[in-house]
Amino acid sequence: EVQLLNSGGGLVQPGGSLRLSCAASGFTFSSYAMIWVRQAPGKGLEWVSGVSGSGDSAYYADSVKDRFTISRDNSKNTLYLQLNSLRAEDTAVYYCAKNSGSHHKYYFDYWGQGTPVTVSS
């Protein structure tokens, strides 16, 4: 059974940093691309970032480019998202999701439960 367990969210001040984690199980982690999607309170879904199965290729939404960094440790079956220079508008629930193939151009077939990030002073 595929499982994605999000963690690492919390309350952080503007300009601060946070690292989110997504622990994966039930599939060959290194064979699949992974993504992060966020959802601001009462708002829709926003794609944030994606990484290939090998970790060699990463992609970002313009809204987070140069502030967020996606990475993965295939030996630990874990996906990460490093959030720097956080702003109030980054407040959201962050979900990790599994792509259906090794490249992030494939659809997302499994999602984590989400971890909330609140940016406030």
**Is there binding between residue 46 and another protein (CB under 8 A)?**
yes
DSSP state at residue 27:
S
**Is there binding between residue 113 and another protein (CB under 8 A)?**
yes
Kindly report the CA angle at 15 between 13 and 20, in degrees rounded to 5? 75
Give the pairing of strands 10-12 and 115-119: parallel
**Is there binding between residue 95 and another protein (CB under 8 A)?**
yes
Type of residue at 79: L
Among 20, 33, 34, 35, binds another protein (CB under 8 A): 35
Q: Where does this chain bind another protein (CB under 8 A)?
A: 35, 37, 44-47, 50, 59-62, 95, 97, 100, 104-114
